[in-house]
Structures are given as C-alpha cells and as structure tokens.
Structure 1
Amino acid sequence: MELRHLRCFTVLAEELHFTRAAERLHIEQSPLSRTIKELEEDLGVLLFDRDRRGTKLTQAGSVFLQDVRRVFTTLEQARENVRAIAAGYHGSLRIAVSDGAAGPKLSAFLARCREDLPEVEVRISETPLSEQCHGLRNGSLHLGFAYADEVGVDIIAEPIWQEPLVLAIPSRHPLLAFKSVPLEELARYPLLMCDTNECESFNRALQRILRKIDVEPIVAETVISRDMMFTLVAAGYGIGFTTATKLAVCGHLDVISRPLDTDAAFITTYLLRSESSSTPTYLDEFVARLHALTETEDDTSAPGTSAL
C-alpha cells in the first residue's frame, strides 16, 4: 500500500464517479481503476460497490475513509511543523474561529503571544462550528473559539469572555422608545437572523434567549454575514442581534443600539480543545497565557480601573 493508493481512494470516495475522480487526479480512468483494485486486493476487502446505477462506498470503505483522512491530516501537520521549524519556529498551532467569535480581545491576545512566544507559529482560520469540532477531534486543529459549549464528547469547552448581547435597530423605530427593550416586545417586529450553517454557535446562544418569548418570533430575512445584517437593519427590514463591539464598527449611522431588558442577554466566547493528551507541549503554555490574560481583564474591569 502506497500513498498514491490512498490519494486515489480518497478522491474516488469523494466523487463516487470514476471519470470525475480521474480528472481530479490528472490520470486516465483505467489506471485509477487498476490502483483501486490493487488497494482492495491488498486489504482483502471491497471498498466500493459498482453497478449500473453508479459507485458507492461499502461499509468497510466508509470506515477506511475516516482512517485515511486521519493519515493525511497527520502528514499535513508534519509538513506544517517542518516548514515552521525551517522558518525558525519551534512548532505551529492551528486555531479556528467560528461565527465571528474573533474580536478585540482575541486580537490583543494574539498580539501578546506574538511578542511573548515568537518561537511558535500561530495559524488562524475561520471555520464553521461543526467543522471546527471535527478538526479538534481528528487533530487537524489545536484550539477553537466559538459561542457554544454544547460540542459533544471529547472536547473541552471553557468560558473565557462574555459580552452583552444588544439589538441593532433602524433609526426612527418604535423600539427606540425603550432604554432597555423587553423580550416580549421582540415578538411584535420582524427579526433578522443569521444562517444556521454559517452562525451555528451564535444562533444556539441566541435561541436560548428567544425561547423565553411565548410566541414564535417573526423572521424577516436570514443572512450569512453581519455586514448584510447591518445593511438590512439600516434599510428598515428588521431588528438584528449583535454585540456592542461589533456594532461599534458597523459603519451604519442609521443603526442604533439598545440593550435587552433581561439578565440573560449576553454572549459567551468559549475556548474549545480536544481532551486528547497528544498535543504540542507549547499548547499548554498558550492556554495558560490566555487564562492569565482573562483573569487580568476581570481584575482591571473592577470599578476605578480600565480593562484591556
């Protein structure tokens, strides 16, 4: 069994079509068929069912695909680590952020780490929550930042930052008569909601708050970005949900902020990491610095002091 066998198998498993898979691999269909046959003979099992209706993975093929993807993840990690070391680093950390959980606090922390831990390369990616959890479990990611703590087994979720949830309201809107908007008032006006796939963890946190309303909210539009949400709010399409830091940089003068009149109106950012012990040694130092910074912010947020 060679890597070329595994690459061909992975592409065919994704395409489930020999012609398309051969095109992706830049080879003819007959060499692809021969390579898959060699792999199946080596393993002693059928990986694909082939008939006139098409090609599909067998149960053994589905299990094998998961293992093969872990192999390629490990190889990619090895490649990144070698490149990082060649560039003068001691290693690299891969961090994912979902649902816009990035913000000034994360920026300040990453800047601090670049100064205090210059020997560690930090790679950041924006990743939906489901993919983030998958990456943490298979080892392709080391840490994640999200607005959800219900992330299943094998992942530790630690609360690190908390921000008030605020309403983004069009100017000249009736809700502006309230200094703090009661939850039940939201049932009377159309709302702008983020797409579940793009903002999964933010929506989970938001639904916990909206469940306190007895009637089903009116959803005017579903958006996939905060920029579009702010644009539609400014145009009068409905009420949006965001945080004060996000609203401060939205750039729309026709969007006005109002807090919600409930103690539960806040969004918590969670640090996600795998329970696996097979993590880089410098990951613990990275997490310890994050906790130390969080504790410092809590202390400096007391009356008479200023936070970071």
Structure 2
Amino acid sequence: MELKDLRCFVAIAETGGFRSASRRLGMEQSIVSRRLASLEDGLGVSLVERGRNGVRLTAAGGRFLEQVRTSLSQLDVAVSHAQAAGEAVAGRVRIGITSSIASGFVRELLAAWRTDHPRVAIDLVEGGPNEHVAAVLAHKLDLTFQLSSVPHQGLDAEQLWIDRVFAATASGSPYAAHGRCRMAQLADAEFIVSTRNSGPDIRDFLTTRLYQLGNSPSIRMIDIGREALMHCVGLGMGVTVTTSADATIRYPDVTFVEILDERLPFSAIWSPHNDNPALRRFLSGARIRARKSARPHREAPAND
C-alpha cells in the first residue's frame, strides 16, 4: 500500500469518478484506476462500486474513507511542521549570554530576528562562560555569546563584533571628570569585578592591559551580580570595567567613562554537531549583521 494509492482513493471518492479524480491529481485516468485496484487488492475488499454514472462507495469504502482522511490530514500537518523547522520558520533557539543586552549588537540581532522569524522562540539564559560552554556541549544551549578568545575543544567559535570599553566610576571621583580617558590614567584605580557572568574575562582583560603598561593592578573579585556591582561603584567602593551595553543604563551616582584605544571582542560559540535548523539560520543572520555593523571607528582625543 502506497501513499499515492490512498490519495487516489480519496480523490475518486470526493469527485465521484475516475476522470474527475485524474484531473484533480494531474494523472492519467488509467493510472488512477490501477492505483485503486492495487489498493483494493492489498486490502482484500472492494472500496467502490463502478457504474455508468460514476462510482459509489461501498460500506467498507465509506468507513475506510473517514479513517484515511484523518490520517492524511495528520500527515500533512506533520510534513508542514517538519518543513517549517527545516526552513527555520518555526522552532526554538536557546542562547547563553554573559553580558547585558540593554543595547548593542545582541539586542539589535535579537530584535531583527524576532521581526523576521516571529514563530521561532528565543530562550535567553544568563550565566557564566564555563557553565554555558558545558551546556552547549551537552546541547542544552544552542549557542552562547562570550567575551573570550580561548578555543573550546569540540566547539566552533566565530568573532562577530567588537565592543567599546567603559570604566564605571563613582560620579564624584576624579576619574569621572572627563568623558573619555586612556587605560594608563586608570593605573592606580581600585578595581572591583564580579565573579559572575563575564566578570572573569573582564579581570583577565584588566590584568593583561595594566601589566602591559607596567602597572600591578588592584582587582577585588566580588560574588554579586551586575546591578549590585554598579551600586557598589556608585557608593565609591571601586571602579569596574564594562561594555557599551551596560553604559546605556543609568545607575545612581555612577558615571561611565569611555576608555579610548580599548576594545573587547565577542564571539558566538556553538557545537558543530547541533542539527537545529533554527540555529543555522540564526548564525547566518548574525554573520550578515556583523558584516553590516563592521565600520571603521574614529577615536576622539582623550581629555587630560
């Protein structure tokens, strides 16, 4: 029994004849007749009675028609859903983030994706780089955006954007006097960095850059979240470093000072063995947006 045999039977039953069914199906009438005969032989029962005025369903044919219609309808729905998933028209993308999405590349990417793929759900999971890498390897996350250039075994990575770097400082501190500064001007600052999310990467960035400038940095790691960290900065407990996404958010008594000549690269990390079609389409959209947003950046002079 073949699927085409069933569709031929339904067409014959609904149109009342072989000629009408052949026109609906785009087949020769002889082929439609042979398929019905093959179906009846396979079932061992007559489904229609042939007459001068067309065909009429037998009692067995009437019962069979109801069941076949239901089965074909369910099959069509299943095929439609599978095709939608394959084209990333529907589905789900699970994304791990380690930094704010208040603005910047990720926010713009997600907004554009929601407009173009309204039936694809996006699950955002905030957490640390290591736990997200483990989740991607276990296929609990489809991908993660991270501030890291360290390769991970078994995973693919691609740098998508480079973000500006800001020092978050208490509004009354000397560092807040100007809108921009150089990293060297922060050499004697007392830094506080969160142990969560992208905090360890920020610590590594500060350590590397300040040592390159010949300074021994003072960095205190605090086990608090992003918002609590910014309130500590506003209370004068230290200076921290963040990206443009955080710098768009207002915190009491916190001033954001852009650090000139400094950039932080962000990458997408995913498993090459993940066969989620929506993930592949999402990565393609991210690459296109990355190429469009890559523009030369002119530095403004720092104020002394």
- TM tier, smaller: 0.5 to 0.7
Could you list the runs of 5+ residues in structure 2 that have no partner in the other structure?
1-80, 299-304
Q: Tell me the equivalent position of 1:260.
A: 259
Q: Tell me the equivalent position of 1:43.
A: none
Could you report, residue by residue, the CA deviation over 1:18-72 in whole angstroms, capped at 9, with x for unpaired residues? xxxxxxxxxxxxxxxxxxxxxxxxxxxxxxxxxxxxxxxxxxxxxxxxxxxxxxx
User: Which residue identity lines up with residue 122 of structure 1 in the other structure?
Assistant: I
Could you list the structure 1 runs, at least 4 aligned residues long, displaced by more than 6 angstroms after superposition. Answer: none
Instruction: Give the 3 Å change call, closer, same or farther, for CA 194–220 of structure 1 in structure 2.
Output: same
Q: How does 1:156-305 map to 2 (within 5 A)?
A: 156-176=156-176, 180-195=180-195, 199-219=199-219, 222-252=222-252, 254-261=253-260, 263=261, 265-276=262-273, 278-298=274-294
Instruction: Give the 3 Å change call, closer, same or farther, for CA 151–132 of structure 1 in structure 2.
Output: farther
Check whether the contact 1:93–1:142 (CA below 8 A) recurs between aligned residues.
yes
Say which SS state the counterpart of residue 267 (structure 2) adopts. Answer: strand
Report sequence identity in percent. Answer: 20
**Distance in 2 separating the partners of 1:170 and 1:268:** 26
Say which SS state the counterpart of residue 260 (structure 1) adopts. Answer: strand
Q: Tell me the equivalent position of 1:144.
A: 144
Check whether the contact 2:103–2:248 (CA below 8 A) recurs between aligned residues.
no
Q: How does 1:51-200 map to 2 (within 5 A)?
A: 90-100=90-100, 103-176=103-176, 180-195=180-195, 199-200=199-200
**Distance in 2 separating the partners of 1:174 and 1:260:** 15
Shift of 1:182: 3.8
Shift of 1:221: 6.0
Aligned residues: 215
Return the TM-score normalized by structure 2.
0.60
**Distance in 2 separating the partners of 1:115 and 1:185:** 43
Instruction: Give the 3 Å change call, closer, same or farther, for CA 200–111 of structure 1 in structure 2.
Output: same
Shift of 1:165: 0.7
Superposition CA RMSD, Å: 3.2
Could you list the runs of 5+ residues in structure 1 that have no partner in the other structure?
1-80, 304-308
Instruction: Give the 3 Å change call, closer, same or farther, for CA 292–176 of structure 1 in structure 2.
Output: same
User: Which residue identity lines up with residue 259 of structure 1 in the other structure?
Assistant: E
Return the TM-score normalized by structure 1.
0.60
Q: Tell me the equivalent position of 2:30.
A: none
Instruction: Give the 3 Å change call, closer, same or farther, for CA 268–198 of structure 1 in structure 2.
Output: closer
Check whether the contact 2:203–2:219 (CA below 8 A) recurs between aligned residues.
no
User: Which residue identity lines up with residue 115 of structure 2 in the other structure?
Assistant: E
**Distance in 1 separating the partners of 2:133 and 2:151:** 7
Instruction: Give the 3 Å change call, closer, same or farther, for CA 135–221 of structure 1 in structure 2.
Output: closer
**Distance in 2 separating the partners of 1:107 and 1:302:** 20
**Distance in 2 separating the partners of 1:107 and 1:236:** 30
